[in-house]
A = this chain, B = another copy of it.
């Protein structure tokens, strides 16, 4: 197995290097077109699509917003976003557990960079693999639901280290789950001292304006 492992590591490095080149190209294209892209990374059902449903309608007044929806299968999320009347492209990985930069390049080209100010990329529901792949985004935004538990930062350190902001969603569930906020903040701040934290609920709307405001001013 040692030889197999060496081949794997070599290929992984090759894949990541190829991805980095494509990501740099995306970043150049986005910057050149004056478009800000956020890469939303969170587990399955953490609330990424619901967050977009909450912030996109208001951001649309004043900003030209587009969405790339990453999923393994189904176009359900793109259909939800399409009802918000913004351009959306569904990126289906067909089994793949994360989005890669070359796929994003195709999605951006379909959206048409010249027609946009702000792009949300919703990654595949997974907090392990997507954190390893630069897509050329301006910032990675983590999305964690309080239902997932306070112990997640330490268990998935790469993501919580890499993100520029963290949405802590479903806070309306706090009375019903065992989520230790102090332990969570200690854990998160041990990995990331700077990323702002946005506790919010897409169900009640609490905390949503703060995140929306930062998204608007960053674009």
Chain A residues within CB distance 8 Å of chain B: 1, 4, 7-8, 11, 14-15, 18, 22, 43-46, 71-74, 76, 95-97, 102, 124-129, 132, 145, 147-149, 151-152, 154-158, 170, 172-173, 176-178, 203
Contact = CB atoms under 8 A, between A and B. Distances in A.
B76 A151 contact: yes
How many copies of the chain does the oligomer comprise?
A: 2
B152 A44 contact: yes
Given A8-B11, A8-B15, A125-B127, A147 B72 contact: no
Given A8-B15, A73-B156, 13 more contacts: A7-B11, A43-B148, A45-B145, A72-B155, A72-B157, A73-B154, A76-B151, A97-B97, A125-B156, A126-B127, A129-B129, A147-B148, A172-B176
Contacts of A46: 148
Given A154-B73, A157-B72, A14 B18 contact: no
